[in-house]
Amino acid sequence: MQRIRLRYTKRGRLRFTSHRDFQRAFERALRRAEVPMAYSAGFTPHPKVSYANAAPTGTGSEAEYLEIQLAEHRDPDKLRELLNESLPDGLDVIDSVQAHTSGLADRLQASVWEIRLDGVEVEAAEHAVGAFLAADEVLVERRTKNGIRSFDARAAVARLETSGSEGDRPDGKACAILRLVVRHVTPAVRPDDVLSGLRATADLAPPVPAAVTRLAQGLLDEETGAVTDPLAPDRDAATAAPPTAAGLSAAKAPSGASPAAGEGTA
């Protein structure tokens, strides 16, 4: 079987698509594009699709990932084009590679989020960010299926900064923009948990709901706070040239000797 890894987006109104709705739309696109999927065994076979760390409903994303298994070989770029013809606008496959490595989910260690705070002055956002980062612990609460749960939102944050505003808006209103890098931990810390933490530490309360978009997810560099492309190892493996037979023979030959040095000797 061939494994293909895809990066896709959730844009515009499609940010309100639930993960289950996306699964249905994607599987319909697979059928319309006549992708030769591999199927599971058993009484109810289903296409082999592995989803990784989907963004919460209501948030946009430029970096969602999944992996599919095919029963026949297909060109990853052509497959991406066929899927985009069958997916609704806003759910767009923007990258595709053949899997040459294992552990895609393990490489999704952190996410980069952009948080737009309409109606919030940049100075107020900078003050709140400073208070949040200065705290050793920021306890927030979230309602779960098992009731209210309290956890620390500060420990998972690798980086949080104010990246400025959108400039002169037509309506003249302020809009601070935050850039957040958060580790994928258990329990998961989401952008709305960090917003709750900003409210708890500095009483920052945007007048309208924040617009949240995931910009990237992948391996985390703890020193710089950068998040790297999780598909890069597959690209590197695909472009690495395999050793030739001549190269292997030369590697085995003694130092300073040529393959013809021993020819004709007794």
Q: What pLDDT is attached to residue 173?
A: 80
**pLDDT value for 247:** 44
Mean pLDDT by 10 residues, the chain (266 residues): 96 93 95 95 91 93 97 97 96 96 94 96 96 97 86 96 69 87 94 96 95 97 92 91 46 44 39
Q: Which two tokens stand for residue 116?
A: 């737009």
> How far out from the chain centre does Cα 87 lie?
19
> What is the pLDDT, as a whole number, of residue 197?
97
Q: Hey, what domains does the chain have and what are their CATH numbers? A: 2-106 (3.30.70.580), 108-228 (3.30.70)
Give the per-residue pLDDT at 245.
43
Residue whose pair of structure tokens reads 């297909």 in the numeric block: 74
Number of H-type helices and E-type strands within the chain:
6, 11
In the prediction, which pLDDT does 242 show? Answer: 60
Dihedral angle, C-alpha 220, 223, 225, 228, nearest 10 ° = -40
The pLDDT of residue 140 is 95
Instruction: Return the closest-CA partner of residue 216 out of 63, 6, 97.
Output: 63
